[in-house]
Amino acid sequence: IEGEEEIIFSEDSFINENLNTVELLSTPKAFTQVTPEVAQKLYATVAEWIPTTTERIADIFCGVGAFGISIAKLCNMTNCIIL
């Protein structure tokens, strides 16, 4: 539970998720989509929207980079940026 004092309920220091073709390792404080089933649909939908002629993609406010990682194979360059 996050707050002034962080209480850890697991011995694991990372959260491991497999979403479509993306394996994510994130920390408890990292931003990820809450529902894995919805995240998989979001990533697949975004991939469908990307034109086949796309050269570069920027994933702004990327959190753990799941969108950028999941679409990286669809273009020549993907930049994941967290501000």
What pLDDT does 2 receive?
60
Q: What is the average pLDDT across 21-38?
A: 80
Q: In the numeric block, which tokens belong to residue 29?
A: 């404080």
60 has pLDDT over 80: yes
- The yes-or-no verdict on residue 1 having pLDDT over 60 is no
pTM of the model: 0.66
- Residue 64 and residue 30 in contact, taking contact as beta carbons nearer than 8 Å: yes
The predicted structure's pLDDT at residue 39: 85
What is residue 26's three-state secondary structure?
A: strand
Question: Kind and range of the H or E element at 69?
Answer: helix 66-71
How do residues 30-58 score in pLDDT, each as one tens digit? 777 778 888 889 888 988 998 888 899 89
